[in-house]
Structure 1
Amino acid sequence: MTADHNGADGSERTVRLGWPPRTRREMYVKILWIGVWLVFLASPIGDLVGGHHTGAATAAGSVGLAAFVGAYLTLVFRNMGRPFSAPLVISLTAVLGVLAPLLAYTLGSAWLGLFVYVSVACGATLPLRAAYWAVPAVAVVMYLVGLHSNEKEARGLFLLVLLIGFAMSGVGQLVRTTIELRKARATVAQLAANEERLRLARDLHDLLGHSLSLITLKSELAGRMLPGHPDKAAQQVADIEQVSRQALVDVREAVTGYRRPRLAAEIAGAQVALTAAGVSAELPADPDLTGLPEEIEAALAWALREAITNVVRHSGARRCAVELTRHQTLDGPVVQLTVEDNGSGGPGTGPGNGLTGLTERLEKAGGTLDAGRFKHGFRLVARVPAGTARHVGSGA
């Protein structure tokens, strides 16, 4: 959390649930997760290799098993996160539903494990209501086919087929909910951006509409007065200059307000950033910032932003605590922002550009910055004079 170094934040190290893989690493993780379940293919493969069937039956079984595995992997791996169309899902599920009983009935009880994959496919890809009917149907078909070869093994697999199918229904629903939640968040962000643009447009209209209208009116008036009454025209020009200067001052003040960060917004942003990076966050629940000067609040907001950025990008921490308190000192009341994490503090040996710039920013506001490692991790403490602020509040 000490220095600014190039590198991806913690959120990029996490495989996104319900999304297609973005990197080779994510693809390997998803392949491994799906490949673990291929353990149930050990019995069919062993049955083929063991020479228990004629040459024609072995060849047909090999082709059927390859087609079954191909359809299963295509349906489950490809459909998760970027769903196929409903007809294609139904078609691939039907292929699995035909091959599993056909192979198990003709080649023996060693192939009953294929019904586990049919149940997984139904639970993971079908709508929830359809899966509630399809999974028990798969279990019943498996049991009926098993009566032909090995009823005891069929009874043992019956409960497994049911449980794993319904479990995958829950996973599939979780994936779909996660995708919908991400889309909703993107929509909310877009709406917030649109609202901000509308607010900016309203502010500019309120700031400049009257001033520009007055400048236009006085310019036309000065133009008409210029030939016969140059002294009155000069007065109108002077008024134009005064109005334009005031408009410029208003615009500069407005732009300064837009650029100044707000501490409440930074706390909310810190919660989102830490959660996305997999860091347990302890933040002020509802800090009271009433009466805190804008310059002081902006300085603390910059300090929090820099601290959270370093925690996410460099520290490797799993926990981060932010505390906002007010202390009485010999020099007067002081507002203190403390950010602690249990990480390494980053690979840097000294303060980076971010902390150096933050120190200078706090000094301009009359504050100080202390940052460094301590026994449990890394701590950043920013102190600024409270001015006329009342109780600020603290969080755990």
Structure 2
Amino acid sequence: MRPLTRIVAFAPFAWIVWQSLLGLLYAHTRPALLVAFFVLVALMLAAQAVVMTTGTRQVPDGRLLAVLGVQAALAYLPLHWFGEPWTGMTGLLAASVLLVDMRGAWLVWSLVVLSVLGVSWPREPFLPAVSDAVDTVLTSWMIWGFSRLSSLVTQVREAREDREELVRAAVARERLRFSRDVHDVFGCSLSSIILKGELAHRLVPAEAARAREEIEAMVAASRQALTDLRRVARGYRSPLSFAAEQESVRSVLTMAGADVTMDITTPHELDPALDEALAIVLREGAANVIRHSEARSCHVTFTVSGGCARLVMVNDGVVPAAAGRRGGQGLANLGARLAELGGRAEAGVREDGRFVLLAEAPLTSRAGGRRPPTATRAEEARLVDAAR
């Protein structure tokens, strides 16, 4: 419990101890009994603290029941030496019985209250004995109520902290998603714009008409990139299409001077999430070909077998500096996207110097589910050899 809630919960205990001490001092109790009183109060406080801090938050176990037994002994045995001033401690025991929340707790609580009446009546008149029993009832309810309130306050604080942690995690995930979308959506578009600008710059002196066409295409690509940026920023970007992206990638790579061949078969309509993921893989693959190679050929193969879709992109002309470099943010984004669908993405340079990008995912999205049946070495070799 928090410090403030501890003070509130233990305030009734302090009041009972104070009343008992005043009763002993008024009866001129011997110093030895006063020392024993403080020792027993300390033990009672320890037992009460265990019950108040753990009894309200977990199912009672053997340890809690043992503490409750010790507290019962501390509540009844000292009555032989201290008499009526110690009767108030039974209120602490009654409160602990309710806090432990064991089976038949209210029955045991009733027996504790009746025991106070049975202990007090032989020593004093009936009405004062009834008053002691009523004090036990009120004390137990007060301590029980304060303890439950303190426990609820602690639980609310912890729930709020957990909620704040969830909010921070959600914000971090959204930032990652936005960063990934910006990279994946605009990578190929900006590479295309740069390529068209360089081409137009080279064509201006010799072929003004062709340069004008490339500049117009560059402006159109820039407008499309701006539209995509606005959609991403507003959070309702239209999903990319694998079929539409094929022609766009073919056009961009052909303009970059690569001989593009595509062996793509789609037996049926793809799942929307998978369709967008494959479109992004194709776009990122094309962007990598433009940025990190001087490709003269690029082959794209897409197959569906065993409930799993596989896309392979192979290109030559890998720049030596890029060959020794690990995968960048784009490939990491692809892996994260496909992992959400239960798939995977791999990329690397083969022994013959060609760069291979392999992506696979199940035909039905299974976010957070098992990985799809991965391609065997023979299947991957067949797909890669077919892309030569």
Shorter-chain-normalised TM-score: which range? 0.3 to 0.5
Q: Give the TM-score normalised by the residue count of structure 2.
A: 0.43
- Return the index of the structure with the highest Cα Rg: 2
